[in-house]
Structure 1
Amino acid sequence: MSSAPSVHQRALITWLAVYLMIMLVQLLIGPVLAPLPLPLRTLALTAIVVPVVVYALVPALLRARALLLRRRR
């Protein structure tokens, strides 16, 4: 059984997931959101990014990490 990631590893994994999602959302719908005031753009961006990161990306990255660690052993 693989050990749980350290708080530093979790922070890095979370940062990576957030960064990737922000980039993707900006590429896909950035031009649509551009005319909106900054608070509304931020609201829309976070409404998309946060759930995807919390429920999909971070768990997937943690599973990938565990798989990589198992393969090393």
Structure 2
Amino acid sequence: MSELAVPAPSRHQLALMIWLAVFPTLTVLNLLLGGWLGDLPVVLRTFVLATIAVPIVVYGIVPRLHRLRARVLRGPHG
């Protein structure tokens, strides 16, 4: 069975998807690592968080959001 083509997300949809991936990821990382990173200078703390968060978001969360979006757009029979 071939999958129906789903158009690429608009700029606004992509921005929302990225926000939905980044905000919770950074929140969880801050809750988990905040105690260990609290004494670091803000730039170093941001670097560490970004180094951990970016691969999680790019390789883990955003692809799942793209698949979810495609399923929603295809509807219940797609």
TM-score by structure 1 length? 0.89
Q: SS at the partner of 1:49?
A: helix
C-alpha separation in 2, matches of 1:66 and 1:33:
38
Query: Does 1:50 pair with 2:46?
Result: no
Structure 1 residue 72, shift from structure 2 partner: 4.8
Task: String of CA shifts for 1:37-59, please: whole Å, max 9, x gaps.
Answer: 11110111000111111111111
Task: String of CA shifts for 1:23-50, please: whole Å, max 9, x gaps.
Answer: 0101111111101111110111000111
Q: How does 1:1-73 map to 2 (within 5 A)?
A: 1-72=5-76
State which structure, 1 or 2, has the greater radius of gyration over its C-alpha atoms. 2
Q: How many residues align?
A: 73
Structure 1: state its 5+ residue gaps.
none
TM-score by structure 2 length? 0.84
Matching residue's letter, 1:43: F
Matching residue's letter, 1:24: V
| Percent of paired sites with the same residue | 48
Q: Which has the higher helix share?
A: 1
